[in-house]
Structure 1
Amino acid sequence: MHENTIARLPAADDIRLRKLLDDTLTAPHWPQGFVMRAFEYRDAPALHALLEEVFDDGADGPFDEWWPRIAGDAEFDPALCFLAIDGKGLLAGAAPCWISGFVKDLAVHPESRRQGLGEALMRQVFLTFRERGATHVDLKTNIVKNTAAFRLYERLGMIPVDWEG
């Protein structure tokens, strides 16, 4: 498990889920008015703001501490940070991933939820990692605090696995 994942030891009701990247994967369907694009370094402040907005514990500190830690991490690859952009050009959702096949975060802005963005982002993650030769993708979630996300992951065919993977 990656160092940043270990730093946050599992809390009560946390679970590790896995998606096997087999031939049953389907392409993402992007909701009308949204497009997916790759991360660019100029997106870092908007990504941090989205994580601050979406997660109870924010983005793990202020931008000036968070960004150097993320950008300098050996597991970070900008090509594995998937962004959903709305019709106004604003960041509506993101799925930054570690190169080891771990979805670090899945975040959809509250105003853009219930349109399929989270599902589209996850399907993009699955296909990209399969294209890179990965056999599975993992993530951590909390089944009590993040019930909607947990239901999404179940619908996508993710299954519980041991913490050690």
Structure 2
Amino acid sequence: MHEKSGARPPAPNDIRLRKSLDDALTAPHWPEGFVMRLFEHRDAQALHALLEEVFNDGADGAFDDWWPRISGDAEFDPDLCFLVIDGKGLLAGAALCWTSGFVKDLAVHPDSRGHGIGEALMRHVFLTFRDRGAAHVDLKTNMVNNAAAFRLYERLGMIPIAWEG
């Protein structure tokens, strides 16, 4: 899942999902050996590398093109970019969200999958946006190419909505 809401027409099997934040929300459980912290400017290259590794589609382009596009976006807020760091100090996962309550990117490094990092990040996103007064959180994913993520989002109570939101 990776791009801006409404940035381009949906591809086959793309779906927009929404989590209503008036539901009872569960606090995240961070796996042992991993810590969550907010993004800092010095993390930009590691975040770009993680997104390139996970999505492997070249859509973000070179760092020098990607970073100005992300950091200069009106919806970018570094306080809405959550990083999970492993015991070696490496970036294990990240959730990059837009201020509109849209999860632009959720990525977990292949070496760190299976620990519940993606679920914990999403639960943290839900609580953060609820605390900011948002009614819901949306994202876009692909049901076929990203089936594991789609199953996670379903388990978290996200439901399909129209593209227009």
> Shorter-chain TM-score: which interval?
over 0.9
Q: Provide closer, same or farther for how the CA distance between residues 13 and 58 of structure 1 changes in structure 2, counting only shifts above 3 A.
A: same
C-alpha RMSD of matched pairs (Å): 1.2
User: Please, what TM-score do these two structures have when normalized by structure 1?
Assistant: 0.96
* Equivalent residue number for residue 54 of structure 1: 54
User: Which 5+ residue runs of structure 1 have no aligned equivalent?
Assistant: none
**8 Å CA contact retained: 1:15, 1:140:** yes
* Equivalent residue number for residue 88 of structure 2: 88
Q: Provide the secondary structure at the position in 1 that maps to 2:33.
A: coil
Q: Provide closer, same or farther for how the CA distance between residues 4 and 154 of structure 1 changes in structure 2, counting only shifts above 3 A.
A: closer
Deviation for aligned residue 1:39? 0.3
Identity of aligned residues (%): 80
Please tell me whether residue 120 in structure 1 is matched to residue 120 in structure 2: yes
* Equivalent residue number for residue 43 of structure 1: 43
Deviation for aligned residue 1:59? 5.0
* Equivalent residue number for residue 102 of structure 1: 102
**8 Å CA contact retained: 1:59, 1:66:** no
* Equivalent residue number for residue 75 of structure 1: 75
Deviation for aligned residue 1:22? 1.8
Spell out, residue by residue over 1:55-78, the C-alpha distance to the aligned partner (whole angstroms, 9 max, x if none). Answer: 032451100000000000000000
Spell out, residue by residue over 1:28-50, the C-alpha distance to the aligned partner (whole angstroms, 9 max, x if none). Answer: 00000000000001000000000
**8 Å CA contact retained: 1:21, 1:136:** yes
**8 Å CA contact retained: 1:17, 1:158:** yes
* Equivalent residue number for residue 137 of structure 1: 137
CA–CA distance in structure 2, aligned partners of residues 149 and 125 of structure 1: 15
Deviation for aligned residue 1:9? 2.1
**8 Å CA contact retained: 1:27, 1:127:** yes
Letter of the structure 2 residue corresponding to residue 39 of structure 1: F
* Equivalent residue number for residue 11 of structure 2: 11
* Equivalent residue number for residue 21 of structure 1: 21
**8 Å CA contact retained: 2:36, 2:84:** yes
User: Please, what TM-score do these two structures have when normalized by structure 2?
Assistant: 0.96
Q: Provide the secondary structure at the position in 1 that maps to 2:6.
A: helix
Letter of the structure 2 residue corresponding to residue 152 of structure 1: L
Q: Provide the secondary structure at the position in 2 that maps to 1:103.
A: strand
